[in-house]
Structures are given as structure tokens and as C-alpha cells.
Amino acid sequence: MDYISKEEFSSVINSSFTFEKNPHIGLSISGGPDSMALLLLVKDWIRSKSGKITVFHFDHKMRKNSSKEARWLKNFVSKLGIEFYLLNWDRDDELVLNMKNAREARYEKILELSKKLRVIHLMTAHHFNDNLETYFMRKKRNSCTLGLSSIPKILIKENLQIIRPLLSFSKKRLISTCNFFNVSWIEDSSNLNIQYERPRIRKELGDKSTRQLTKIKKEFDKIKKSNEIIEEKIKNFFLNYLIFFEYGVFQIDKNKFLKCSKELKVEILKKILTTSSGKIFPPRESSIINLIKSIQSNHYLRYTLHSCLLEINSNKILVFREASNIKEEKKIIPKGKPYLWDNRFFLYSKNFKIECEKINSQNWVFLKKYFSFKKTHLNFFILSSLPLIKIKKKLFIPFISLCDVDYDFYFKPTIPISRKNYF
């Protein structure tokens, strides 16, 4: 049987990921063969690291037997001596029942609990077949080349490093692993429901001939390898020719940027604009190409794209959030509750409530009298992309004015600058 040995798994995970001493690993487990195989393999690996596992199971209540399955899984995990948390979807009845909502709710619940438990690594059971399906889905949507690289091994989501250690293993091998260790699993009927996109794609791939499937796999491997090369070039550019300022401004060496290939220029700007905007999805490639043409033909330029403002001069390109597109209303954040302001800045105080609001033209006149901006090189456009914060009746602007109150504030976008956080 073509099962995954403990030694093979350890070799893959140790060569692909870095952990602290005695790591605390969260596992998102559905109970299917993929996640049960992951549980078995991680259980043995964590022992060699003198670490700890915490299992999260999310009952989305979209299937009739989901509660019964959750009880079975809890019993199985508990017998292994592993900490188990059952998370339920407290949804409104009016909320549309679909996979996207369920997935978002699952991550939200896990993120919240992870913060309390101080879990910073979360492993999921995404595997090679998932990756191939994602590639095929994106191909059918005419995604750009880099977007076809599919599921990343590592994804940063707020306080969590989400890790997929099974991406090189097929579904068949995961099932074989469960069979070898004589472990049962839950069959999720929704995986066969073709009203959902992924099961529909899975069926479509399953209906193809061996020759057609081999061709798709070759395409996938070729694009994946090509994308890895592009990602490496992007990484090198960021490390050498990008300056990031903690208040959310990106500075690009214009001359070095213009010497890059067209494809590389597009991907560099795509990642920076997505990060700077606080959005999840990048701008259209056609829009970025038009921006590049403008940069090439103008020494000095102010340009707006993807809720970002770009200021271009003869030797540098500045990219930062366009203040007019910030939708944040005046908000009170209770003490001990973290908050991601504008999907870009992490804001937290253990001991005090925090009031924050946008800096705008209405309060700017007052702020100019309250704060001294003479020594700062930041213009109004950059300043207004930051929040005005009030703690214990004291006003301050992060990175600009001092505050003697205990709080945390730092740039932490929903999507980092790349698959790895380079700054």
C-alpha cells in the first residue's frame, strides 16, 4: 500500500517549515480521510519536537448528521490524549448556506480561539488533488498565470500562520495512510453535491480520460514551476529595492523597477497594491498595465488605483492607502479585544478601551493645532491614511505622536506582501 510513512512526513515538514522550540500546533480537522491522516502524522511528529497539538473542529450544521459526526470525532481525539475544541456556527437563519460562508465562519472562529490559546500555527489537510482542482477552477475563470499557482504552503491570516504540509501528497495516499493505521473517517456527502463548484470540478476531472488528466497535471506542474521562479524574482526585488515604512507606505526604486520584465512589473505592483489597500483580491491586470505605461512616460505623476495613491517622481514610487476610500467609522474597541483597522493595522490594549476614527478634512484643522507636524516628512495624504486614536482622554496619531498608555499598534494587512512576509 502506498501509505505515507512517519519518516517521509517528518522529512517533508522539517524541510518546508520552521517552528519554535516545543511548538503548539493547531489542527483544523473535518474528520475526512485527509484530516484524519494529518492528525495521525502530526501526532507522531510533534512528539519528536516535544510540542503540543490542539484540534479544532467546526460544525457548520449544513448536514443532517454533522452533530453526531462531531461527537464521534471528539471521542476519537480525546482517546489520543489530544485537546479538542468543538466550534459551532451561530449563524443567522437568513444567512445563505454555502461553502464560502462556512469557510469564512470557520476561520473566524478558529482565529478568535487561537488568540486565547496562544496558537500561532494552524495546519490544514489540503492536498495535491485540492491543488489540482483549484488550478483547474482558476483556469476556467481565466485567472492570470501567477494566480494559477493555486494553494500556497503558507498563508498569514492575522495572528495565524496557516500551514499546508500535505500539498505534495495525493488523496489516494492519504486514504491508504488511514487504511494502513486502521483509522476510520467521516464521509462528507457535500463533497458529492455538484451544486457546489469544487465537487462539480472534481467530477469533471474524474470524467476525463487518463490522457487528458495527465496533460492537465503536466500543465499544472509547468505553471507551478514557472510561478516559483517568478515568486523568487519578486522576493529578490522586495529585499533589494523596496523600502517599507511602518505607517503603511511602500517606496519602490523606480529605475530598478523599470528595468524589470513586463510580467515581473505587473506582479510586483499587484502584490504591493493588494497589501496597501487592505483588500483580499488584486486589481485587474489591464489596470496595472495602464499604470506601468503611465510610470514609463511620466517623470512626475500622481495616480490612483485599487484604493491606493501612487506618487511618482524621477527616482522613486510611493504607494499608500487612499484615505478617501477608507470606510472605517468612529469606533470604540473594548479593552482586551484586538481589532484590525481598515484591514491593515492591528490595534489592541489589554487595559484600556480605545476610541479611533478617520483623520479627515473636518478634524484636520484641529489636529494641526493639537500636534506639531513640522518635523515629520509625512504629507496630509499619508497622515490621513492613519487613524486618530483616543485612550484615557489622550489623543495621538500612531508613529507621529507619543503615547504613554499601554497599547499595540502595527501594520498587519489581511494579505501580506507575498506568500512570505518579507519585512
Tens-place pLDDT, residues 305-336: 999 999 999 999 999 999 999 988 899 999 98
Which pLDDT score is estimated for 112? 85
Which pLDDT score is estimated for 374? 63
| Residue 23: band (very low, low, confident or very high) from pLDDT cuts 50, 70, 90 | very high
User: Comparing 207 with 152, which gets the higher pLDDT?
Assistant: 152
Q: CA 186, CA 72: separation in Å to the nearest integer? A: 9
**C-alpha distances out from residue 216 to 133, 139, 204, 211, Å:** 10, 11, 12, 9
| Residue 295: band (very low, low, confident or very high) from pLDDT cuts 50, 70, 90 | very high
Which pLDDT score is estimated for 10? 93
| Residue 149: band (very low, low, confident or very high) from pLDDT cuts 50, 70, 90 | low
Query: Which domains, and CATH codes, for the chain?
Result: 6-207 (3.40.50.620), 237-324 (3.30.465.60), 329-411 (no CATH)
Retrieve residue 334's grid coordinates. Answer: 473594548
| Residue 393: band (very low, low, confident or very high) from pLDDT cuts 50, 70, 90 | confident
| Residue 297: band (very low, low, confident or very high) from pLDDT cuts 50, 70, 90 | very high
Global model pTM greater than 0.95: no
Cβ(199)–Cβ(191) under 8 Å? yes
Question: Model confidence over 122-143: pLDDT tens digits?
Answer: 999 998 888 888 877 777 666 5
Retrieve residue 1's grid coordinates. Answer: 500500500
- pLDDT tops 60 at residue 175: yes
| Residue 422: band (very low, low, confident or very high) from pLDDT cuts 50, 70, 90 | very low
* Strand 394-396 with 408-411, pairing: unpaired
- pLDDT tops 70 at residue 375: no
Q: CA 235, CA 302: separation in Å to the nearest integer? A: 26
Q: Average pLDDT in the 76-98 region?
A: 75
Cross-strand bridge partners of residue 394 = 391
The region of weakest confidence among 104-108, 124-128, 287-291 is: 104-108
Cβ(418)–Cβ(238) under 8 Å? yes
Entry field: residues in the chain: 423
Helix (H, G, I), strand (E, B) or coil at 177: helix
Q: Average pLDDT in the 265-290 region?
A: 90
User: Comparing 407 with 100, which gets the higher pLDDT?
Assistant: 407
Q: Average pLDDT in the 169-194 region?
A: 84
Q: Average pLDDT in the 21-48 region?
A: 94
Q: Average pLDDT in the 245-252 region?
A: 93
Q: Average pLDDT in the 74-101 region?
A: 74
E-assigned strands of 145-271? 154-157, 160-163, 242-245, 249-253
Q: CA 159, CA 111: separation in Å to the nearest integer? A: 7
- pLDDT tops 50 at residue 118: yes
- pLDDT tops 80 at residue 213: no
Return contacts of 360-366, CB within 8 angstroms, 24+ apart.
360/323, 360/384, 363/388
- pLDDT tops 60 at residue 193: no
Which pLDDT score is estimated for 316? 96
Which pLDDT score is estimated for 398? 85
* Strand 52-59 with 24-28, pairing: parallel
Cβ(87)–Cβ(58) under 8 Å? yes
| Residue 159: band (very low, low, confident or very high) from pLDDT cuts 50, 70, 90 | low
| Crossing angle for the helix pair 262-277 and 210-241, to the nearest 10 degrees | 70
- pLDDT tops 90 at residue 343: no
* Radius of gyration in angstroms for the set of CA atoms belonging to the chain, rounded to a whole number: 24
Q: CA 361, CA 164: separation in Å to the nearest integer? A: 46
Share of the chain above pLDDT 90, in %: 43
Which pLDDT score is estimated for 419? 42
| Residue 364: band (very low, low, confident or very high) from pLDDT cuts 50, 70, 90 | confident
Which pLDDT score is estimated for 94? 40
Share of the chain above pLDDT 70, in %: 85
Q: Over the chain, what is the mean pLDDT?
A: 84
Cβ(1)–Cβ(180) under 8 Å? yes
Which pLDDT score is estimated for 423? 41
Cβ(392)–Cβ(405) under 8 Å? yes
